Amino acid sequence: MTLLQGKNFLIIGVANERSIAWGISKALHGAGAKLGFTYLNEAIEKRVRPLAASLNYSDLWSCDVQSDSDLSNLFRALKTSWGRLDGIVHAVAYAEREDLRGRFVNTSRYGFHTALDVSAYSLVAICREARELLAESHGSVLTLTYLGSERVVANYNVMGVAKAALEACVRYLAADLGGDQIRVNAISAGPIKTLAAAGIAQFGQMLSAFAEKAPLKRNVSLEDVAGAALFLLGPLAGGVTGEIIYVDCGFNIMGA
C-alpha cells in the first residue's frame, strides 16, 4: 500500500515492540511512509534503535519532552535532515508509580505537575516547535488518550486528570492550528498490555472486565489502534480535526 508514499512522520514515545506507538509505526511503514523516532535515554535507545533498524530506518534523535531546548534542537535537526514533516505521533505519558495507587486525594504536588507536564503540556510544546514544518505540508498530529479522562477508573488516578487535560489540548490546538491547515486528533484506545500499563495496579483484572463488557467481547489489539491511526494521519481524514476517536471495541458506549 502506498497511501503515505513520500510522507515523513516523527514518532515520539516508542518504548518497545509492545507499545502502541510501535504498532502505529508499523502501519505507517506499511503504507509507504518514512519514519523517524525519538528516545529519552540510553536504556530506551537500546530498545528503539533495533526496532527502527528492523524497518530499515536510522533516523533517531534524543529528546526529553520536558526540555524546551531539546524540542527546539529536535525540530531544527529534523528540518535539516528531512526538510519536510507530514505528521507526528505523540505517544508520551508518565505519572509517578505511587500516584497510580491508593487514593487520588493523596497525589503529591510534584506528581501532579509531572503527570500534566509530560502527558499533556508536551503536546502543546511539540506543536509549537513543529508548527512551521507541519504548516508547509498541511500535516497532522495524533496523540493517545484513554476513557479514564472522563470516567473514574480504579488506579488511574492523576493520569486520568492528565488525559482530560490532553483531550482539551487537542481541541484547543485543532482550533489554533486549523488556519495553518494542521489537523490535531486523538485516539482513545481500550486497555492494551504495554510498558505503561504495567504501572497500573490490577491491570489484568481490568482486561478481563473489559472483554466481558465490551460489545465486541474482546480486548483491543495494537492492529485495531494502528488502523485508526493510519486513517487519522492520512489524506482520507483530511476533514477531521479536534476529535477524540474511540478504538475500544465499543466499551465506551456501555452503562454500568
Residues contacting 5, CB < 8 A, separation 6+: 31, 32, 33
Contact 28, 4 (CB under 8 A): yes
Provide the 10 A C-beta neighbour count for residue 68.
Answer: 12
Domain membership flag for residue 255 = no
Domain around 151: 8-247
Taking 90 as the threshold, does the pLDDT of residue 206 lie above it? no
Average pLDDT over residues 185-189: 98
Indicate the pairing of strand 140-145 with strand 87-90.
parallel
- Could you tell me if 30 and 1 are in contact, meaning their C-beta atoms sit under 8 angstroms apart? yes
Tell whether the model's pLDDT for residue 181 goes beyond 80.
yes
Burial 144-181 (b: 16+ CB within 10 A, else e): bbbbbbeeebebbbbbbbbbbbbbebbbebbebbeeee
Look at residue 102 in the predicted model and tell me its pLDDT: 87
Mean pLDDT of the chain: 94
Mean local confidence (pLDDT), 61-84: 97
Cell numbers that stand for 203 in this block: 491491570
In a domain, 34, yes or no: yes
* CATH number, residue 40: 3.40.50.720
Q: Is the pLDDT of residue 1 over 80?
A: no
Residue 1 lies in a domain: no
Catalytic residue, candidates 39, 94, 156, 246:
156
Active site residue 156: yes
pLDDT at 44: 95
Band the pLDDT of 202: cuts 50, 70, 90.
Answer: low
Question: Does the residue 3 lie in any domain?
Answer: no
In a domain, 253, yes or no: no
The partner residues of 11 in beta bridges, in order of sequence, read: 37, 89
Choosing from 39, 146, 172, 246, the catalytic residue is 146
Q: What is the pLDDT of residue 105?
A: 97
pLDDT at 199: 54
Which pLDDT score, from 0 to 100, does residue 201 have? Answer: 57
Report the candidate in 193, 198, 101, 203 with the shortest Cα–Cα distance to residue 155.
101
> Is residue 178 included in any domain, yes or no?
yes
Residue 2 lies in a domain: no
Please confirm, yes or no, whether 94 is among the known catalytic residues. no
Domain count, the chain: 1
Which residue's C-alpha cell is 492523576? 158
* pLDDT at residue 200 is higher than 80: no
Tell me how far apart the alpha carbons of residues 236 and 223 are, in angstroms, rounded to a whole number.
18
Average pLDDT over residues 203-229: 89
Residue 54 lies in a domain: yes
Residue among 194, 53, 55, 73 nearest 125 (CA): 73
Mean pLDDT over residues 65-85, rounded?
A: 97
